[in-house]
């Protein structure tokens, strides 16, 4: 796990957005955190089988009634990478899906609570997706992007 991989994953997320609207992830990736967290976790697991990956679930995030999923990737060196594949929903100016790196999952959970507010917990240990699950999550993300596009009226601004 390194910065190069994180940047590659971030580029892959942005490429899911329609051409010309890839600068609008805060709007278009809304409500896709669960699916994108699992898709990103799957990519990490394929490239780095030795890391443990957990889905971290928050409720009442950033003063909203929304739930949110992010990733905790624990490397063999015991580094804890906190990755938020849809960070722009709550932090539109964020430059990276890497939120921070620490060496203790409990301290990481406390820092997540401070940063995002709400209640957070280690929800599930991620294993790996099969091809059907991966396709299903990609389809849901695509549908969500399409719905967000319609609701936001960004499509008409493109013309």
- CA separation for the pair 89, 75 (Å, rounded): 27
Question: Do residues 53 and 41 make contact, with C-beta atoms less than 8 angstroms apart?
Answer: yes
Q: Per-residue confidence at 156, pLDDT binned at 50, 70, 90?
A: low
Total domains, the chain? 1
Mean pLDDT taken over the chain: 93
User: Which residue range forms the structural domain that includes residue 17?
Assistant: 3-158
pTM exceeds 0.85, yes or no: yes
What confidence tens digit (pLDDT) does each residue in 7-63 have? 999 999 999 999 999 999 999 999 999 999 999 999 999 999 999 999 999 999 999
């Amino acid at each position: 796990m390194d910065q190069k991989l994180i940047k590659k994953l971030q580029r892959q997320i942005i490429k899911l957005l329609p051409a010309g609207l890839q600068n609008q992830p805060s709007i278009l990736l809304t409500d896709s955190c669960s699916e994108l967290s699992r898709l990103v976790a799957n990519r990490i697991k394929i490239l780095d089988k030795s890391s443990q990956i957990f889905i971290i679930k928050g409720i009442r995030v950033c003063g909203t009634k929304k739930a949110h999923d992010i990733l905790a990737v624990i490397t063999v060196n015991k580094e804890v990478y906190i990755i938020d594949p849809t960070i722009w929903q709550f932090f539109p100016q964020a430059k990276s899906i890497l939120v921070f790196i620490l060496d203790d999952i409990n301290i990481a959970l406390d820092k997540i609570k401070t940063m995002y507010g709400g209640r957070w917990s280690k929800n599930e240990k991620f294993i790996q997706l099969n091809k059907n699950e991966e396709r299903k999550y990609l389809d849901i993300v695509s549908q969500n992007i399409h719905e967000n596009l319609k609701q936001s009226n960004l499509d008409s601004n493109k013309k």
